[in-house]
Amino acid sequence: MNLDRNAIKAAVRAKVIELAKNLGMDASDIGDDDIIPATGYIDSGAILELVVWYEDAYQMPLKQEEINIDNLGSINSMADFVLKRKG
Amino acid sequence: MAFALHAPRVNNNDDIVQVIAFRVAVGDFVKQGDIVLDVETDKAIVEVAAENAGYVLKLMCAVDDKVAVGSVLLWQGETIDEPVPETAVVAAATGGGNARPTAKARALLKELGLDAGVVPAFGDRLSLADVETYIAAHGIQRRDHIPAVTVSARESVPDVAGELVDLNAEERGMLITVSWHRDHAAATYLEVEYDPKAWEDHAAAYASANKLMLSPLLPLLAYRYVQLAKANPRVNATVVNGKRFQYQPVNLGFTVQAGETLYLTVVRDADALETQPFIEALGEVQRHAIQRKLNREETSGATLAFSSMARWNVSRHIPILPPYCSLMIAHAAPKGSGRAVLGASYDHRVLSGFDVARLLVELAKPPG
């Protein structure tokens, strides 16, 4: 598990691109601050898969109420949240 | 329907066996051939294996009990919620398994295809009363009470090269579900089209107000469905042995496609939840499905169900009714069509087309 901020961002970006590709979408130009659900690249089912991957990749079980735009809404947010939780 | 495991005849001279140990508990799922308990006679300790796969529903005796050969040791079911027939454990009989049957007893034994040796006699001869006591204790039905249910005959393999492969647990669950739909429900289907804009606007506003990552459209639809079922209890019922079984809670089944596997996840007591707790509870079981970490409570006990294939741009799908559910609603919303569809498979033994159409028309409108 690499907790370097850039490494986390790269991993999240790669996962979003992979999930989008499965839906026939090209998310390669997604910005670090773009709100992931609002981009339309991935649907709710894929966002769930992203969350499950994220929990597993960073050994970080999430409470349902933590799954929100503030914590996980963008690539930057997801990186910040891991670093905050992992201290 | 629940099925019984009977105390085996270990040898011809012993009409009684003593229960030594149970290796399963109520709620366990056992496969055919799994050892479920040990019994003892004067001559041997014998492992008793499950004759069929299924959940253990009820243990009919306890360790150290002495029970008659042929008694029901435990009940199993294809689902964990199946009702168990009212039976009594047959106490150890005084007569031997070889007591000569009377003429009337012999006639009933022949009618039911029973071996006189498995029926305990409570006197010098095996009487009609003895046989009737035995069949009552074992839930055996006389021919005139057997419902006209088609029993599938053993099939031949197709005349094409191939191999038989055992089903995994999920595949077996699907087979059980489909078989219940085919064999028990009087399943039929209807649908209503509606303009999805009102629901889309409602969901978008809710998501924005609550900063949700996931679109709440389907959870909010499902929640509205639960509320409508609460207000119309007839839709939250099934039929058991010719009577309507009115459920008390509304346990919502919600399909989740996790990779190659389709799960019916269950949010129990959904009618007792407010909107946001329901959405969170549904989100949690969906995550558990994707993680392959669903527990038994999350995969059983659905009283009605909901499914959506909007993700795959499907314009219509006619769902299979889960066991003991009388209504399953299928949502579809073909992209770019400007319309959405609420379809419903329903059990006509419980619901009429009017019941279902009325509910779907209400469901097509968001609350307020």
Q: Using the predicted structure, report yes or no on whether residue B14 has a pLDDT greater than 80.
A: no
Per-residue pLDDT of chain A (87 residues; tens, 9 = 90+): 788 999 999 999 999 999 999 999 999 999 999 999 999 999 999 999 999 999 999 999 999 889 999 999 999 999 999 999 987
pLDDT band at B107 (very low <50, low <70, confident <90, very high): confident
- Say if the Cβ atoms of A45 and B283 lie within 8 Å: no
pLDDT tens digits, residue range B289-319? 999 888 888 988 999 999 998 888 888 899 9
- Say if the Cβ atoms of A37 and B214 lie within 8 Å: yes
In a domain, B26, yes or no: yes
Boundaries of domain holding A34: 5-86
Quote the minimal CA–CA distance from B276 to chain A in Å. Answer: 10
Amino acid at B123: G
Both B81 and B175 in one domain: the answer is no
Look up the ipTM and state it: 0.88
Both B217 and B314 in one domain: the answer is yes
Calculate mean pLDDT across residues B98-116: 80
Both B231 and B348 in one domain: the answer is yes
In a domain, B16, yes or no: yes
In a domain, B156, yes or no: no
Percentage of residues in chain B with pLDDT exceeding 90? 41
Question: For chain A, how many structural domains are there in total?
Answer: 1
CATH at residue A55: 1.10.1200.10
Q: Which of B96, B130, B145 is the last residue of a domain?
A: B145
Both B107 and B252 in one domain: the answer is no
Between the CA of residue B218 and those of B214, B309, B337, what are the distances in Å?
10, 11, 18
| Strands annotated E in B31-157 | 35-40, 45-49, 54-59, 66-68, 72-77
Q: Using the predicted structure, report yes or no on whether residue B63 has a pLDDT greater than 90.
A: no
pLDDT band at B359 (very low <50, low <70, confident <90, very high): very high
In a domain, B155, yes or no: no
- Say if the Cβ atoms of B213 and A70 lie within 8 Å: no
Chain A residue with the nearest C-alpha to that of B215: A44
Q: Using the predicted structure, report yes or no on whether residue B19 has a pLDDT greater than 70.
A: yes
Both B253 and B314 in one domain: the answer is yes
Quote the minimal CA–CA distance from A38 to chain B in Å. Answer: 9
Residue B129 pLDDT:
73
CA end-to-end span of chain B, whole Å?
42
In a domain, B159, yes or no: no
CATH at residue B134: 2.40.50.100
Go through B138-163 and write b for each residue having 16 or more CB atoms within 10 A of its CB, e for each that does not. bbbeeeeeeeeeeeeeeeeeeeeeee
pLDDT tens digits, residue range B135-190? 765 656 554 433 333 334 567 888 899 988 888 877 888 888 888 898 889 999 99
In a domain, B131, yes or no: yes
pLDDT tens digits, residue range B236-278? 999 988 889 999 999 999 999 988 888 999 999 999 999 999 9
Contact list, A34 vs chain B (CB under 8 Å): none
Number of Cβ pairs closer than 8 Å across A and B?
Answer: 47
Both B261 and B334 in one domain: the answer is yes
In a domain, B120, yes or no: yes
**Are the C-beta atoms of residues B57 and B77 closer than 8 Å to each other?**
yes
Both B354 and B275 in one domain: the answer is yes
- Say if the Cβ atoms of A45 and B311 lie within 8 Å: yes
Chain B residue with the nearest C-alpha to that of A44: B214
In a domain, B330, yes or no: yes
Calculate mean pLDDT across residues B29-52: 84
Calculate mean pLDDT across residues B40-68: 84
CA distance A65 to B307: 24
Both B60 and B116 in one domain: the answer is yes
- Say if the Cβ atoms of B211 and A36 lie within 8 Å: no
The encoded tokens of residue B128 equal 């009609």
**pTM assigned to the model:** 0.66
Boundaries of domain holding B40: 3-145
Question: For chain B, how many structural domains are there in total?
Answer: 2
